[in-house]
Structure 1
């Protein structure tokens, strides 16, 4: 299996509901380092997994829609605890939409999987994996 990973980051504010979250129930900020790993069994005719430039651009677009937002104010997240795990899936789902729309180039049609990892610190991170 071949893979290519591109990286970016975004900053948000949010709060959580539930005693398990302790002081994070109050409004707080988070900066996430994001890795998007694209997988395929065989390289495309150009000898690559995915166009790194297009993958980087699309990841940046997905994150721009979240960056510098208070997620508590976003209708798409109403009633949801926007945990690191949950946000990894949101980023993945939005990247998958772009892959399926052909926005990562024709070669991306051969991708077989995607993993999105959000690093919330140097000691903690969460990932979401999906098959394509």
Structure 2
């Protein structure tokens, strides 16, 4: 299995609902390093998995939708706890859509799996990994 990873970062503010979150129920900020790892069993005719430049552009496009935003005010996230795990799934879903739409080049159609990792600090991170076809399952259904 071949893999290719691109990375970027995003800065957000948010708060959580639920006693389990303790002080994180209050508004707070986070900066995440975001890694997107694309996997495929074979390379395309140019010996590429995906075009790195296109992958970086697409990851940035996905992140731009909520970078420097208060996630509590983003309509798409209304009523959700925008945990690190939730955001990893959200980014995975958007990147999988981009792969299916051909926005990462022809090699993107052969990508079989995608792993998105959000690093909150050197000590804590979360990831969502699934076959590209499974990306449309909502987090509540991915059991």
Moved over 2 A (4+): none
Residues 1-132 of structure 1: pairs in structure 2 closer than 5 A: 1-132=1-132
Residues in 2 aligned to 1:47 and 1:53: alpha-carbon distance in whole angstroms? 15
1:16-54 C-alpha deviation (Å, 9 max, x unpaired)? 011111110000000000000000011111112111010
Decide whether the 8 Å contact of 2:51 with 2:105 is kept in 1. yes
Q: CA RMSD in A?
A: 0.7
Secondary structure, in 3 states, of the residue corresponding to 1:37?
strand
C-alpha deviation, 1:78, in angstroms? 1.0
| Aligned positions, number | 132
Residue number in structure 1 paired with 2:139? none
Structure 2, unaligned stretches of length 5 or more?
133-143
Q: State the alpha-carbon separation in 2 of the partners of residues 93 and 105 from structure 1.
A: 18
TM-score normalised by length of structure 2: 0.90
CA deviation after TM superposition for structure 1 residue 74, in Å: 1.0
User: The residue matched to 1:120 in structure 2 has which SS?
Assistant: strand
SS at match of 1:87: helix
Aligned mates of 1:33, 1:20 — CA distance in 2 = 25
Query: Structure 1 length as normaliser, TM-score?
Result: 0.98
d(CA) in 1 for partners of 2:21, 2:65? 25
Q: CA deviation at 1:90?
A: 0.5
